[in-house]
Amino acid sequence: MNLLVLYLLLLKAVVTSFSGLTSLPVVRHDLVEQRHVLTDRQLNAAVAAGRTAPGPNGLYIVSVGYFVAGIPGACMGCLAVMTPAFLIIPMLRYLGARADRPAVKNAIQCVMLAAAGLVVSSTVPLARDALTSPLAVGIALGSFLFLVLTRKDTLWVVLGAAIVGLLGRLL
Amino acid sequence: MLAVSLKGLTWIFARVGNLTFGGGNPTMAALQSELVTTRHWLDEEEYALIYALARITPGTNLLAFSAAAAWKILGWIGAVCAVLALTIPSAAVVVLLTRGYQAWNANALAMAAIGGTLAAASGMMATSAWQLLAPQIRRGRRVRAVVIFLAALIASGWFSMPPIEVLGLAALLGLLWQAPMDK
């Protein structure tokens, strides 16, 4: 896949999201459904890799780029994650005074709500691919409850899930 | 107030950004401690404005926050160095983890462990959706929250509407359907 096209597709996904995994539906739509250069399993693995590493949650995009085009693809992913960050500087210069306006806040809240719906919508096919046994379903439910109830770091969830998966195989 | 240097500023973003797990909020809290409380390079009001703007900047909130905070302190060179310092080492770790996934693809035991992490990823994505939704489910906003969440889910899941169109419509709806704000 052409690296510039990959960069622009990943940039589109990042620019249309407002936090880590809300770019996921756009990535899945463009790279899994439309262009078939990524599988649901690879996208799942990218999310796991992105959440295991330190740093911003959105770095799963780097892993997506790597799956599509190796190290150059990862570099495109990294650039796509970094580029929109600089939009804040003109905003800080000119729009800072308007950040508290109710209309702006309301629009952002609705975008966040729609993003939640989109994340659930894109989780369904990924879950269909990953949750192929009762143990896997248990791990997914356990991970969800653990994160919602304890707010502990996702690193522990990933490590715990790997250990449970391994024990499930050995026993 | 401690003296500002590009090297010192870059090191703070590299250290805090790459050694703090858990995503944006814990890292921004750690940066607040470093930049506002300890070094006084930003005051509380500047931090609050940058934090609020980072929430409405497209993309990764933490990177937008870092770009703005470093720009306020040292201009464009500070912003570029902060974003690079915060992103590159973690991105390298992500690539190594992805390579590990590919390398162990044929090993049954490794795949069992990886299968566990893939299952957990579904749980993490559900958590991500919940964390976006939960703060909006409160008195005065509940109906709007449920309607928009379900409408986006149905538009995307059943009618395959592209995500950008769903988000654009949601923003438009937010301008038309206003709910009471927190004090």
Residue A79 contacts B where some CB pair is shorter than 8 Å: no
Average pLDDT of span B53-61: 80
A34 DSSP assignment: I
Residue with tokens 């992490």, as numbered in its chain:
B117
Burial of B22 (0-12, 13-18, 19+ CB in 10 A): middle
pLDDT at position A7, please? 96
Strands (E), chain B: none
Structure tokens at A17: 């999201």
pLDDT at position A140, please? 92
CB pairs below 8 Å between A and B: how many? 386
Range from A157-161, B44-48, B92-96, B174-178 carrying the lowest mean pLDDT: B44-48
Residue A143 contacts B where some CB pair is shorter than 8 Å: yes
Using CB atoms, pick whichever of B65, B97, B124 lies closest to residue A157: B124
pLDDT band at B79; cut points 50, 70, 90: very high
Percent of chain B with pLDDT over 70: 92
Structure tokens at B124: 């993490």
Rounded to whole angstroms, the Cα distance separating A116 from A88 reads: 23
Using CB atoms, pick whichever of A113, A157, A164 lies closest to residue B133: A113
pLDDT band at B20; cut points 50, 70, 90: low
What are the residues whose beta carbons fall under 8 Å from the beta carbon of B39, sequence distance 6 or more?
A: B1, B2, B4
A19 DSSP assignment: S
Radius of gyration of chain B (CA): 20
Closest among A56, A160, A55, A119 to B60, alpha carbons compared: A56
ipTM confidence score: 0.72
**pLDDT value at A85 more than 80:** yes
Residue B140 contacts A where some CB pair is shorter than 8 Å: no
Question: Do A117 and B150 count as a contact with CB atoms less than 8 A apart?
Answer: yes
pLDDT at position A90, please? 87
